[in-house]
Chains A and B, each alone.
Chain A
Amino acid sequence: MLEKLRTLIGLNSPSRLWRVATALAVGVAVTLSVSACGSGSSTASSVPSGSEEAAESVPNPTLTVGVYHEDLFESIDTNLWDSTTSWAVARLTCVPLVWYPNKSGKAGEELAPGLAEKMPTVSSDGRTYTFKIRPGLQFSNGKPLTAADVKYTFYRLYKVNPGAFLPQIEGAQAVIEGKANEVTGVEAKGNTLTIHLTEKNGAFLQSLSQMYTCPVPRGTTLKPDESGDLPASGPYMIQSYQPTQQLVLVRNPHFNPALGPRGVAGKIIFDLALDQTQALTKIKLGQLATTVESLPSSDALLARHDPTLAGHVFSNVTSTLIYMWMNNDVAPFNNVDVRKAVNYALDRNQLVKVSGGADAAQSWDQMIPPALAGSSKALYPSEPDLAKAKQLMKESGISLPVSTTIYTPDLTNLPLVAQVIQQDLEPIGIKLNVHVASTTVTSAYTSVRAHHAPAGFGAWTQDYPDGGDFMQLVDPRLITSSSDHAHFNVASMIPAFKAAEEKSGKAREVAYQELAKEVQENYAPWAPIFMQVSTQATAPNVTGFAWQGAASMPLLTSLGMK
């Protein structure tokens, strides 16, 4: 699975050899690239929400969109798209079989046909999906886009991106292992595409919405193509690409409008060398239309109070959940009462404040995001309930005070967040040592179960809007996965995980809501802290800002210029 887990942790008390190795590794450490694979459900566009209709005063405008240089593409290859920024480009240059379309509001949060003419028919055993590919589709090079191309795409996907997070399609493993020249579970006949799964999976269609399933023509190289020359299927195509510098998109002349809006801009230039600290200044000067990522919280605040940007600052809750995981195997967090006490003791409102206020975070106490959690009421308070927390600590039976460590990556405001938690837990008898290290080091250390890291921070951005995408992080069956830092291992919960996994549609949504509630209320493996909020500003002459909730990013097709 291509994860964009920035679950990060630090080093502490490892063996000397490990420490030395770490020191050496740091020399070449790269910054964490948080790939936000995913579409996301997201929500509530807060303060002023832009209109999807763009001003027509400048026809086919050229817009420059900033991408912070810290978060560059992992790859420009269609079947390797796997980061927030690459998905911003992917949503302009390609369309998968089914997806969350380039629309704002509810329309963008409902799974809809993409290349497929309509949603597929599913066999009674839930293992076979049959799609009809829209007729008359073309790649940007003018070649027809057919079911056979989609079949080839799955083959290439498993060849170049074997870690792609897709439920098991029959024959995929043989391709990954180099034993087959096609995915036997994918059949193409005329415009009909049939996919056979090895087992039923209720989230299969959502997983197909991931942008690395976008089609490539038959015969495309089976090696990663970083030239930017792969033909597009979306409203734009790549005109030129200079890695780490600039990516220029122009309209795709062969785009079929049945696939979605064409996009207002005639040309979109991605500035890939943008220094985060210069973004706001460039936006104010009109040198940038907007940014793909959120402004830093201090810049968001400056923008919010800048009269020249009045009406041009937009905050939206993303699908990224920031949480504190507690290692269920390690004292004192191997005691469920202690974990619950932590949840009651946290001052989530203050944690939001030190993270930059409402333009940067929204207090949250559950394991799945608000958009997926339904009407589920708060499980734990936003303001600390110290009386309850102290009672739980007393009931835990452990001798107080107890000392433990939280591994903290030096990422944005997390060291500050850790210190707030440190103060929050002191009154209930937990002396928390804050161990700050680079994101890479922290992640490397805490990912190893044998290190017994007691606590740390996790950040998860959904791959697609599905409770299962979050709950997999604490699935007892996946306890050995590097993503599972809490090591939640309650065997009696496995049937509930399995049952939810097999459901689809509304039943699945409800099942995961109940599962998330049960796990967090009864076992509290995490202390969820807040949902990240993304704040973008647009240049004074830019119109049409809108938010694609499922993807948790600005809807670039709607941006125009007056």
Chain B
Amino acid sequence: MSRTPDAQAASGATPGLAAEESVDLAVGITEVPERTARSSGLRAVLRRNRLVTCAGAVTLLLLVLAVVGGPLAASITGHPPNRQYNNALNPEGVPIGAFERTYNAAGTAHDPNGQLFVLGADLLGRDQLVRALYGLRTSFTIAVGGAILAILGGIALGVTAGYFGGFTDAVISRAIEATLAFPTLLLGVGLALALGPGMLNVILVISIFGWYYPARIVRSVTIGVRNLQYIEAATSVGASVPRILFRHILPRLYSPMLIAGTSVVAANVLFEAGLSYLGLGVPPPTATWGQMLSDAVGSGYYQIDLWLAIVPGACLVIVVLTLNLLGDGLRDALDHRDSYL
């Protein structure tokens, strides 16, 4: 059970009680100091579920890689992400594979003193390792950016619907259902085409089709909370609606939004890859996994050099799997459905 800020204040944890805060005691809500319990619960979950621990660690690692991995790899290999090496393709246009060196001038054999490409080169002779790491940055930037916008939108609409109910709830709920009914990718493609390419536009498209999932959760949580006695008490002593929302309801959304957030980010990674695969993502030469996959599959060269497809494909699998495992673990740790009952 979560402790509300007002109840916390009433119990003396926070100096300077507001008028309505003291009412919490009056109405007899029993508050259990929960932060410690939850923290220990989280630790317990992490101890029990090593996979979640690993997922968290890998996520952290991925975030670090997203920030510094690309530039670091480019610095170590000496291969800028967009630099095309003519001698990384043979005369037939086939790129060098993993752990191979560039071709000699005639393109007939690998040059023993040539440059090493750890994960091979792409169809333009660019370093796949460096581009995969830069692709991680692109992917995370878009996915997290899209998730933040979607969650903010979802919270705003979900809280509004859940708290005010009635006609407002009906309108917003129908909007959620209508959005759910549309084929997201198809509409996303149309919208991406209309807006044109670019990172900000992709973030916008993704957030437009990502808000309803958090909105449903937020609405549900808000409805569960709004009729609780301490909300009634707060209302009865004249607490304003914004104060109720910001002090009593929004803090309740922290856990569900954190859990939903990981799922939304994972879904956004796939959405972004899908748009890039279709040529609607970030324009070239910016590295994106979807574009890397598209080049490999569209050209058919993955049949000749599997690394072209394996590298971006594996990156997608790792990131999405990691985020989903993390989301599952966080739900186990944080999502106490009876906490507001």
Contact A359 B295 (CB under 8 A): no
The CA of A45 and the CA of B261, in the complex, are separated in Å by: 59
A433-B84 contact, Cβ under 8 Å, with A302-B303, A353-B93: no
Q: Which residues of B contact A359 (CB under 8 A)?
A: 92
A433-B283 contact, Cβ under 8 Å, with A22-B193, A27-B190, A298-B304: yes
Contact of B279 among A277, A298, A347, A437 (CB under 8 A): A437
The CA of A297 and the CA of B123, in the complex, are separated in Å by: 12
Contact of B196 among A19, A302, A410, A419 (CB under 8 A): A19
Contact B189 A413 (CB under 8 A): no
A420-B196 contact, Cβ under 8 Å, with A296-B300, A298-B304, A358-B92: no
A357-B91 contact, Cβ under 8 Å, with A26-B189, A436-B283: yes
Question: Chain B's nearest CB lies how many Å from the CB of A37?
Answer: 27
A23-B279 contact, Cβ under 8 Å, with A357-B93, A436-B197: no
Tier of interface size on chain B: 20 to 34
Can you list the 3 inter-chain pairs with the closest CB atoms, starting with the nearest? A298-B300, A23-B194, A357-B92
* From A277, A298, A358, residue with most partner B Cβ within 10 Å: A298
Can you sample 12 A-B contacts with CB below 8 Å? A19-B195, A23-B190, A26-B189, A296-B300, A301-B304, A353-B93, A357-B92, A415-B284, A416-B123, A420-B84, A435-B197, A436-B284
Contact B82 A423 (CB under 8 A): yes
Question: Does B77 count as interface, using CB distance less than 8 angstroms?
Answer: no
The CA of A360 and the CA of B94, in the complex, are separated in Å by: 13
The CA of A299 and the CA of B301, in the complex, are separated in Å by: 8
Contact B92 A22 (CB under 8 A): no
A302-B304 contact, Cβ under 8 Å, with A26-B193, A353-B89: yes
Q: Which residues of B contact A355 (CB under 8 A)?
A: 93
Question: Does A287 count as interface, using CB distance less than 8 angstroms?
Answer: no
With contacts A354-B123, A410-B279 known, what are 14 further pairs, Cβ within 8 A? Answer: A11-B196, A296-B299, A298-B301, A298-B303, A302-B304, A352-B93, A357-B92, A357-B93, A419-B124, A419-B285, A420-B124, A434-B285, A435-B197, A437-B279
The CA of A359 and the CA of B190, in the complex, are separated in Å by: 36
* From B83, B89, B284, residue with most partner A Cβ within 10 Å: B284
Within 8 A of A (CB), among B158-200: 186, 189-191, 193-197
Contact A413 B299 (CB under 8 A): yes
Contact A299 B193 (CB under 8 A): no
Q: Which residues of B contact A433 (CB under 8 A)?
A: 283
The CA of A299 and the CA of B300, in the complex, are separated in Å by: 7
Question: Does B59 count as interface, using CB distance less than 8 angstroms?
Answer: no
Contact B92 A350 (CB under 8 A): no
Q: Which residues of A contact B93 (CB under 8 A)?
A: 297, 301, 352-357, 360
Contact B283 A434 (CB under 8 A): yes
Question: Chain B's nearest CB lies how many Å from the CB of A126?
Answer: 48
The CA of A26 and the CA of B189, in the complex, are separated in Å by: 9
By beta carbon, the residue of chain B nearest A11 is: B196
Question: Chain B's nearest CB lies how many Å from the CB of A475?
Answer: 33
A358-B91 contact, Cβ under 8 Å, with A20-B194, A23-B191, A437-B279: yes
Contact B283 A435 (CB under 8 A): yes
A416-B124 contact, Cβ under 8 Å, with A22-B194, A298-B300, A436-B284: yes
User: Which chain B residues have a beta carbon within 8 Å of chain A's beta carbons?
Assistant: 82-84, 86, 89, 91-94, 123-124, 186, 189-191, 193-197, 279, 283-285, 295, 299-301, 303-304
The CA of A433 and the CA of B190, in the complex, are separated in Å by: 22
User: Which chain A residues have a beta carbon within 8 Å of chain B's beta carbons?
Assistant: 11-13, 19-20, 22-24, 26-27, 277, 296-299, 301-302, 304, 347, 350, 352-360, 410, 412-413, 415-416, 418-420, 422-423, 433-438, 441
The CA of A408 and the CA of B97, in the complex, are separated in Å by: 28
Contact A419 B84 (CB under 8 A): yes
Contact B194 A297 (CB under 8 A): no
Contact A350 B86 (CB under 8 A): yes
Contact A301 B194 (CB under 8 A): no
Q: Which residues of B contact A13 (CB under 8 A)?
A: 196
Contact of A24 among B83, B190, B283 (CB under 8 A): B190
Question: Chain A's nearest CB lies how many Å from the CB of B322?
Answer: 30
Q: Which residues of A contact B186 (CB under 8 A)?
A: 27
Q: Which residues of A contact B197 (CB under 8 A)?
A: 435-436
A434-B194 contact, Cβ under 8 Å, with A277-B300, A299-B300, A301-B92: no
Contact of B300 among A11, A297, A353, A354 (CB under 8 A): A297
Question: Chain A's nearest CB lies how many Å from the CB of B122?
Answer: 9
Question: Chain B's nearest CB lies how many Å from the CB of A112?
Answer: 38
Contact B84 A297 (CB under 8 A): no
Q: Which residues of B contact A296 (CB under 8 A)?
A: 299-300
A23-B193 contact, Cβ under 8 Å, with A301-B94, A354-B93, A354-B123: yes
By beta carbon, the residue of chain B nearest A359 is: B92
The CA of A277 and the CA of B302, in the complex, are separated in Å by: 12
Q: Which residues of B contact A435 (CB under 8 A)?
A: 197, 283
By beta carbon, the residue of chain B nearest A13 is: B196
The CA of A350 and the CA of B190, in the complex, are separated in Å by: 34
A437-B193 contact, Cβ under 8 Å, with A299-B300, A353-B89, A422-B285: yes
Q: Which residues of A contact B92 (CB under 8 A)?
A: 301, 304, 353, 356-359
